[in-house]
Amino acid sequence: MIEIERKFLVLSTAFINEAYTKKRIVQGYISSVPERTVRVRIKEDKGYLTIKGESTNNGTTRMEWEREISLADAEALLSICENGIIDKIRHEIKLGKHIYEVDVFSGENEGLIMAEIELESENEVFEKPYWLGQEVTNDERFYNAYLSKKPFKSWWI
């Protein structure tokens, strides 16, 4: 139930040709407080409920619990979420033994492209593709819960 991940901005759309899957994700937050976020997500035709704990000081590690729920339940829960729905297309790219999840945001977060990689330990070594940019793991502005309240377009210059 521990998630260890790092986040990066993406420099170009060159990753698209390397993706082996592409899925639309719509998500909202029942609770977006940093100590415990409760997220409802629809990924294509499946629903998920996720609870995440507060991140460590470096932003890489936190408790995560996720369960698949019915699409109908996910749609109902989305209707009672806090304001600010996240809409994005996720591309998955395999590189070495890891998978990068690259999200291309739309709506109020259009223009933001971010990659995440899940690791087995905070110090794990991993390959970095040429399209990977600045690391934003510990920058709360790039947490989806933050982006749902303060969209990328409102603060990025």
Residues with catalytic annotation?
29
Cα 7–chain centre separation: 9
Residue 63: partners with Cβ closer than 8 Å, 6 or more residues away: 1, 2, 3, 52, 53
Cα 144–chain centre separation: 6
CA–CA–CA angle 30, 35, 41 (5° rounding)? 35
Q: Look up tokens 């029942």; give the residue.
A: 30
Q: Which of 61, 40, 60, 64 is nearest to 52 (CA)?
A: 64
Q: Look up tokens 């690391």; give the residue.
A: 135
